[in-house]
Amino acid sequence: MGEPRPGIDVRDGVERLSTAAPTVPPAISRQRNAILLALLALAAIGWYIVVQQAGEHDGHMAHGPDLTMGSASLFFTMWVAMMVAMMFPAAAPMIVMFGRMQRSHPARIALFTGSYIALWIAFGGLAFGLGTLVENRAAGSMWVAENWARIGGGLIVLAGVYQLTPIKDVCLRHCRTPLAFVMSHWQDGMGGAVRMGVTHGLYCMGCCWLLFIILVPLGVMNIAAMVAVTLLVFVEKTLPWGRRIGRVAAVGLLAYGGLVIARPSLLPTVV
């Protein structure tokens, strides 16, 4: 990937960010506030959609799991709303940093953000496939119908284990340092904005993918689970002590997943 070249805006932006100036230039401040307001509005809309649908949908079935809400279109609508609601608050520092470097090119900011969310939508396809597979297996196999909740418990345990792995640390480090990411992955132009958005999305996915996969057994419409994951992702990515909280969460996931394996009725999607 290309390094920033002398004379382009990013070098000037980094010089400004590196100084000890006590105030932020008005133009940068206005753009930062506009980006934050836009992200906040999108997240609020996402949460509104999720809460509205949660009130209308029952995530349980008497004879097996209902993990895809019975409709690909409804599942993907809710997945997009979830991604916007849950990921934009934690992604805001990176988007704002990129915006400061590209303040004269709002289309590039939009492409960076759009490519980031598009990657998560594609990931939703994997989640939908997983949910469909479990539903179909449960419908055709008595063993799966009786043990799918234990499989969900195993996924929760796996998510806890992943929280403690080196790859989680590597991905999280890139997400926690927006300036370092922008400088080390900088690419020019509209295509560069897309590639940078995808790269950031891959690191972000490397941090969080299992935390979102476990929403399938916990219930895509489970507001409590969504809030817990959102808070964990936000804390891990933005607060100084976030990594320690992530490790505490790992212990909680391991314990809860083990309990679900032992007693499947503890899974919310089990009647």
Question: Residue 4 domain-assigned?
Answer: no
Has residue 17 got a pLDDT over 60?
no
Q: Give the C-alpha separation, 199 to 153, whole Å.
A: 31
Looking at the chain, the number of H-run helices and the number of E-run strands are 11, 0
Question: Residue 178 domain-assigned?
Answer: yes
Has residue 36 got a pLDDT over 80?
no
* pLDDT (0 to 100) of residue 190: 93
Question: Residue 12 domain-assigned?
Answer: no
pLDDT band at 47 (very low <50, low <70, confident <90, very high): low
Is there a contact between 32 and 109 (Cβ–Cβ < 8 Å)?
Answer: no
* pLDDT (0 to 100) of residue 270: 74
Has residue 20 got a pLDDT over 60?
no
**Structural domains counted in the chain:** 1
User: In the block, which residue shows the tokens 């979102």?
Assistant: 212
pLDDT band at 258 (very low <50, low <70, confident <90, very high): very high
pLDDT in tens, 145-200: 778 889 889 999 999 999 999 999 999 998 888 889 988 999 989 999 999 999 99
pLDDT band at 104 (very low <50, low <70, confident <90, very high): confident
Summarize the confidence of residues 19-38 as an average pLDDT. 54
Q: Give the C-alpha separation, 114 to 92, whole Å.
A: 13
The per-residue DSSP string of 193-261 comes to: HHHHHHHHHHHHHHHHHHHHHTHHHH-TT-HHHHHHHHHHHHHHHHSTTHHHHHHHHHHHHHHHHHHHH
User: In the block, which residue shows the tokens 């933005």?
Assistant: 238
Q: Which is it for the CA torsion 134, 139, 143, 145, positive or negative?
A: positive
Q: Give the C-alpha separation, 48 to 81, whole Å.
A: 9
pTM across the whole model? 0.73
* pLDDT (0 to 100) of residue 67: 66
pLDDT in tens, 117-155: 888 888 888 888 887 887 787 777 788 777 888 988 999
Q: Answer left, alpha or beta for residue 165, where phi above 0 means left and psi between -120 and 50 means alpha.
A: beta
Has residue 5 got a pLDDT over 50?
no
Question: Residue 208 domain-assigned?
Answer: yes
Domain coverage including residue 203: 27-266
pLDDT band at 56 (very low <50, low <70, confident <90, very high): low
Which residues make Cβ contacts (< 8 Å) with residue 109, sequence separation at least 6? 35, 95, 98, 99, 102, 193
Is there a contact between 175 and 237 (Cβ–Cβ < 8 Å)?
Answer: yes
Among the residue ranges 62-76, 208-222, 249-263, the one predicted with the least confidence is 62-76
* pLDDT (0 to 100) of residue 168: 95
Has residue 71 got a pLDDT over 60?
yes
pLDDT band at 55 (very low <50, low <70, confident <90, very high): low
Cα dist. 2→5, 112, 146, 183, 184 in Å?
8, 16, 53, 10, 8
Mean of pLDDT over the chain: 78
Question: Residue 15 domain-assigned?
Answer: no
Tell me if residue 66 falls in helix, strand or coil: coil
| CA neighbor of 112 nearest in space, from 11, 10, 9, 198 | 198
Q: Give the C-alpha separation, 160 to 170, whole Å.
A: 17
Which residues make Cβ contacts (< 8 Å) with residue 218, sequence separation at least 6? 152, 156, 225, 267, 268, 269
Has residue 260 got a pLDDT over 70?
yes
Question: Residue 7 domain-assigned?
Answer: no
Question: Residue 233 domain-assigned?
Answer: yes
Question: Residue 8 domain-assigned?
Answer: no
